[in-house]
Structure 1
Amino acid sequence: MTTTSTTWRPPTEFVDQCRELYGLTCPPMWGTPRRPELPTLGGKVAKVMERLGFTPMPWQRYVWDVALEIDPATGLFWHRTVGLSVPRQQGKTQGLLAVKVHRAAAWKRQRIIYAAQTRSMARERWEDEFWVTIEASRLARRFVIRKANGHEAIIHRATRSRIGITSNTEKAGHGPPLDLGIIDEAFAHEDDRLEQAFSPAMLTRPMAQLWWASAGGTEKSAFLNKKRKAGREMIEELWRTGEHPRAAYFEWFAPEDMPRDDPATWWATLPALGHTVTEDVIRAELETLDPAEFDRAYLNRTRKATPPPDPNVPRDRWPGLVDEHSRPGGNLALAVDVSQDRAWSSIGVACERDDGRVHLELVDRRAGTDWVVPALVRLSALWRPLVVAIASSGAPAGSLIDDLVTAGLTVPEDKERPHRGHLAVVRTNDFVEACGQMADAMNQGSAVHRDQADLTAAVSGARTRKVGDAWVLDRWNSLVDVAPFVAVTLARWALVNRGPHVLDDYDVMESVY
C-alpha cells in the first residue's frame, strides 16, 4: 500500500498488542510495534516522568518502550532515529522532557540539544516549561541551571550532562559531539538543515538518538511532510516484510473520511482523550477554530491552502446541500468516471427523492480500473437502474465501454426508446449539458448529498475548461481527482435526460400488461 492510500489501517495484531501491553485503545495510524523480546529503557523514563510530577499515559509508555529498545547483540539502542507525529495538547512536551531528563541522569557528560521553531521559542520553552517543571519536582536538587545567553544549560550535578538549546540555522548543532538531539515543532521547519547539522555530530556517540516531533503542518512544512511520508512508507513496509528498520515512527492521524465533528474520530485520533483531555475541551476547540486549523491541530492533518474558486463551479453552495440522512432508492441512474492518470475510478448514483430534489452519492471509489465492470454489473443486477452512464471513448473511462457491453450492458439502437439498465455513452455536447445542469442544481438547491469526503474534495478542487461558449469539468487541471464529481454529474444528467424515456416508453406499458 502507498502512503496516499485512504484504505490503510493499523493491523489487528498491532491494535491488540497496544491494548494488551499498555491499555492503549487509541493506537497510532502508523506505529512501530513493540518487540517484547528486546529489553527497553522505557520503564526508566516512565519513572522519571513520575518524579517530574506527571502520570505517564498509555501512549507515552508505548512510545518510550519502542523508541528505547536495546539491541541485545550490541547493548546499544536499536533505533537511531525516532519520529513522533501526534496532535496538539496530547502530552508531547512532557514526554520529550522525560526522555531528556532520563538521558541526563543515566549517562555521564551527555550533550542534549533541544530545538523548536526558533531559538527564542526554544529558550522560552526551555526556561519557562522545562526548568520550571524540574525545579518544582522531586528531581530539583539534582539539577542546576545556567542562563547565560549562548551558553544555556540545565546541568545534572552528578553526571555533568547538559540540556541545552539551539537555533534553526545552518550552523545549529555544530560543535562538540551530540548524544541526543530533539527537533520539536517540526512543522515550522521548511528544510532539513537541523537534521543535517545534528547527524554528523552524533557519528562517534554509540548511544546517540535523533528525535523529531510535531503536530500536523502545512504544505510549506517541507521537513515534516517528507518525514511523515517516509515514516508511513517505512511502517507499511515493516508490516509487509517483517523486517524492522533502525528507525521508529509513530503517527496519530485521522483520514479525510473520518468526520471532524464526530467524537468517535477524536477517540480514534487523540491518545490523551480520557486522560488529560476531555470531549468538552475538543468540542469547544471545534466551535472556536477554523475547520482547517482544527484538522491540523487535533486530527493531525496537513493544512492545505484554500484554492481560488473556479467561477463556473458554485462550490460555496455545496455545504448547504448536505443531508446526511438522505439515501438512494427507487428509480436511479449510475455513472462511472476515471481519473486522467487512470489511478482511480469512481461510481456515482443519482435518484429523485419524494420532495423532487436529486440525491447524489459516491457509491464507490477505488484504485485502478479492473474492478469497475464487475462492480457495475453487480450494482445493475441489485438496483435495476434506469441508466448507466459513461463518458465517450475520448475520455479515460471510454476504454471500459466494450467490456461493459460484453458484460451485458448494451447501448440501445434508438435512444428515444431505451430499455431499463441501458448504457448511455455521454458525448461532448452531453457533457456540456450535464455540467451546466449540475451548476444550476447546486445554485437552485435542487440537489442533495451526504458530504462524503472524496466527493466534497472533488467539488472543492474542481477546475473547468472552455468548450465553445460553454464549459466542462477539466480532468487535467483540477486540483484533485475530479472523477467523483464527474461521476455524480453524469449520473444526474442520465437520470434527468435519459431516465424519463425508460419510464414513459417501457415501465408504464409493462404495468398495463
Structure 2
Amino acid sequence: MTTSETWQTPAELAEQLRELYGLTCPPLWGPPRRLAFPTLGPKCCTVMQRLGYEPMPWQRYVYDVALEIDPETGLFAYREVGLSISRQQGKTQEILGAMVHRIAAWRRQRAVYAAQTRGMARQRWEDEFLETLDASSLAGKYRTRKTNGNEAIIWSRTRSLLGITANTEKAGHGPPLDLGVIDEAFAHEDDRLEQAFSPAMLTRAMAQLWWASAGGTDKSVWLNRKRKTGRGLVERLWETGVHPRTAYFEWYAPEDLPRDDPATWRACLPALGYTVTEDTIRAELEKLDPAEFDRAYLNRTRKQAPPTDPNVPKAKWPALVDAKSRPTRDVAFAIDVSQDRASTSIAASSLRADGRVHLEVVARRPGTDWVVPAVVKLRRLWNPVAVAVAGAGAPAGSLIDDLVAAGIDVPVDKEHPQRGELAVMRTGDIVEACGQLADAMNQGTAVHTDQVSLTAAVNGARTRRVGDAWTLDRTNSLVDISPLCAATFARWALLIRGPLVEDDYDIADSFG
C-alpha cells in the first residue's frame, strides 16, 4: 500500500475525466466511471440546474459514479459515497442536489441531513436549503414543516421528505432511512451517527449513506478513519480492478507541495476557475493561519503542535533553511530504519565553502530491501568519506552484514579508514552525534532545504536520557524520526570520520 505522499492519480483516470467531463483537476483518489453501468447522475445534474446551479465538471463526475446502477441487480452499485474536498468547491450544492433528487423523483423516501450539531443542521436546512428551493423553479412543489424537532421538506407529488437530525446515538432512529447525509464530517469525533443511521437503512435496497467534509484535525477520529479506509479502497480498486461498495473521492494536496503556489491550488481545487479564483484563494492564504489554510483549502489534516522537547531546538530549524543549498563532493551518507521497519531513510551531509554543514535526505522509501543496492549506487557515484549506520540494538544494525557482503567494508584500521567504508556507531557515538547536531542548530552552522520528512522529524522528535546526556528516542517520538537520525549520523560521520580518511589517490595524479 502506498502512502498519501507517494500515491498519484492514475493516468487512466485523469484521461477519462478529461475526455468525459473536461475535468482537468482529477481527484487524487477516485474511482473511474464504468460506462457499462447506467447512472442517475444526469438526473441529479438536472435537479441542480433547476435549483439555479450549473454543475461543474467535478460535480457531474461524482454524481455519475456515485449513482451508477448495477445492471445485474438494478440497485445502486455503491452503498456509501465519501467526498473529501476543500471548502468553497460546491460541496453544499452537490449534497443538496442529491437530496432533492431523492425526494422529488422517488416515492415515500426519507432523507436525513446531519451537520456538526442539530442547531447547525437546522440553520443550513432553513437558511440555505429551503431558501435555495424557494428561489428556484421548483418552488411550490413541496410544503415545509418547521416544527422544532420535526422539521421536514415534504415533496407534494412523491410524499417523500427531507429532515434533519442530531449527532447522537439516537439519530436516524424511527422509520426506514433511504438517504443519510453526514456533512462537515470533520466535527464528528466518533461513529455514533453512522451507527445510528445503519440500522434504519438495512431494509432499504436502494439506501445510500453520503458523507462530506474538508480536512479535519487530530480529533476528527471518524473522518480520519474514513479517509484512510477510502484511500485504501481506491488503491486496491486500481490494483485489482475490483470495485468496492463504497465510492470514495478525495482532492488533496500532499504535504510536500507548497501552500503558496497556484500550481498546488490547481491540483486540488476542482472549482478553481469556476466559482472561485486564484485571487480568492490568495486572500484566504493571507488571512488564515497556515495550518488552518492547509485544512480548509488543501484538505490536509490539521495536527496539534507537539509539545517542545527541551533537547531538540526545533525553533531554530526554520532559520536554517537554504533552498538552494546542494551537497559538495566531500559527502558522508548515513542509513536509519524506523522502529517498525516500515521505512528507511538515507541522508547526506557535506561541508560547504562557508563552513556550514549541508544536511539532506537523499532517499526515503518503504521497507528495507532497497537500501543496500541504493547505498552501493550512491557509494559508486559519490565516493563518500563514510557510510554511517547505528550498530547493535538499532533497527538499521540488521543491515550491516548485507552491506559488508555488498562490498561496503568495516575499516580494518580504525585510525586510518578508507573512503566509502562503514562507520558503525556505538551508543557513545550516537549520543555524541545528537549533542553535536543540537549545538549546530543553536549556533546556526547547519543548513537544510526544508524537506517535509526531515522537518516533520525535527518537530516530532523526542529524546531520552543516557547518563547525563541524551539521545533521540524512536519509541516516544510523535513521528518517524529516521530522517532526522540519518541526518544526525551523516553529520557525525562527515566531521568525525572524515578527517581520519586516507584518500586513495595522490592529488598530483590530477596533473600531468
Q: TM-score, normalised by structure 2?
A: 0.96
Distance 1:312 1:327 in 2: 27
Q: Any unmatched runs of 5+ in structure 1? A: none
Query: Is the counterpart of residue 161 in structure 1 residue 160 in structure 2?
Result: yes
Distance 1:509 1:437 in 2: 35
1:507/1:161 CA distance change after superposition, 3 Å? farther
Query: Which amino acid is 2:138 matched to?
Result: L
- 1:116: which partner in 2? 115
Superposition deviation, residue 252 in structure 1: 1.3
Superposition deviation, residue 117 in structure 1: 0.6
- 1:388: which partner in 2? 387
Distance 1:18 1:86 in 2: 17
Query: Which amino acid is 2:194 matched to?
Result: E
Contact preservation (8 Å) 1:41, 1:68:
yes
1:123-142 → structure 2 map (5 Å cutoff): 123-142=122-141
Distance 1:474 1:8 in 2: 29
Contact preservation (8 Å) 1:417, 1:505:
no
Contact preservation (8 Å) 2:215, 2:299:
yes
- 1:196: which partner in 2? 195
Superposition deviation, residue 27 in structure 1: 1.3
Contact preservation (8 Å) 1:391, 1:398:
yes
- 1:346: which partner in 2? 345
Give the secondary structure class of the aligned counterpart of 1:141: coil
- 2:297: which partner in 1? 298
- 1:262: which partner in 2? 261
- 1:85: which partner in 2? 84
Superposition deviation, residue 512 in structure 1: 8.7
- 1:207: which partner in 2? 206
Comparing 86-95 with 185-194, which one deviates more in the overlay? 185-194
Query: Is the counterpart of residue 472 in structure 1 residue 466 in structure 2?
Result: no
Give the secondary structure class of the aligned counterpart of 1:424: strand
Comparing 281-290 with 432-441, which one deviates more in the overlay? 281-290
Query: Which amino acid is 2:258 matched to?
Result: P
Distance 2:504 2:99 in 1: 78
Distance 1:72 1:488 in 2: 56
Give the secondary structure class of the aligned counterpart of 1:284: helix
Distance 2:229 2:191 in 1: 14
- 2:17: which partner in 1? 18
- 2:311: which partner in 1? 312
Distance 2:502 2:329 in 1: 12
Query: Which amino acid is 1:123 matched to?
Result: R
- 2:326: which partner in 1? 327
Distance 2:73 2:380 in 1: 63
- Cα displacement string for residues 287-343 of structure 1 (whole angstroms, at most 9, x for unaligned residues): 222222222111212222211111000011111111111111221111111112222
Query: Which amino acid is 2:235 matched to?
Result: E
1:52-451 → structure 2 map (5 Å cutoff): 52-451=51-450
Superposition deviation, residue 511 in structure 1: 6.0
Q: Percent identity?
A: 71
- Cα displacement string for residues 97-153 of structure 1 (whole angstroms, at most 9, x for unaligned residues): 011111121112221110001110000000111111111111112233221211211
Contact preservation (8 Å) 1:419, 1:506:
no
Distance 1:27 1:505 in 2: 54
Distance 1:140 1:452 in 2: 54
Distance 1:357 1:346 in 2: 22
Contact preservation (8 Å) 1:350, 1:358:
yes
Give the secondary structure class of the aligned counterpart of 1:47: helix
- Cα displacement string for residues 4-57 of structure 1 (whole angstroms, at most 9, x for unaligned residues): 453222221112111111111111111121101111110111111112111111
Query: Is the counterpart of residue 499 in structure 1 residue 476 in structure 2?
Result: no
1:216/1:132 CA distance change after superposition, 3 Å? same
Query: Is the counterpart of residue 454 in structure 1 residue 448 in structure 2?
Result: no
Contact preservation (8 Å) 2:474, 2:481:
yes
Superposition deviation, residue 276 in structure 1: 1.2
Query: Which amino acid is 2:347 matched to?
Result: G
- Cα displacement string for residues 137-192 of structure 1 (whole angstroms, at most 9, x for unaligned residues): 11112233221211211222222221111111121111112111111111111222
Distance 2:503 2:205 in 1: 81
Comparing 141-150 with 178-187, which one deviates more in the overlay? 141-150
Distance 1:467 1:120 in 2: 54
Give the secondary structure class of the aligned counterpart of 2:170: coil
Distance 2:204 2:474 in 1: 53
Query: Which amino acid is 1:501 matched to?
Result: L
Comparing 352-361 with 58-67, which one deviates more in the overlay? 352-361
Query: Which amino acid is 1:328 matched to?
Result: P
Distance 2:506 2:437 in 1: 26
Distance 1:110 1:318 in 2: 57
Q: Report the number of matched residues.
A: 512
Contact preservation (8 Å) 2:121, 2:164:
yes
1:206/1:404 CA distance change after superposition, 3 Å? closer
Give the secondary structure class of the aligned counterpart of 1:30: coil
Superposition deviation, residue 411 in structure 1: 2.4
Query: Which amino acid is 2:31 matched to?
Result: T
Contact preservation (8 Å) 2:419, 2:503:
no
Query: Which amino acid is 2:32 matched to?
Result: P
Query: Which amino acid is 2:465 matched to?
Result: K
Give the secondary structure class of the aligned counterpart of 2:501: helix
Q: TM-score, normalised by structure 1?
A: 0.96
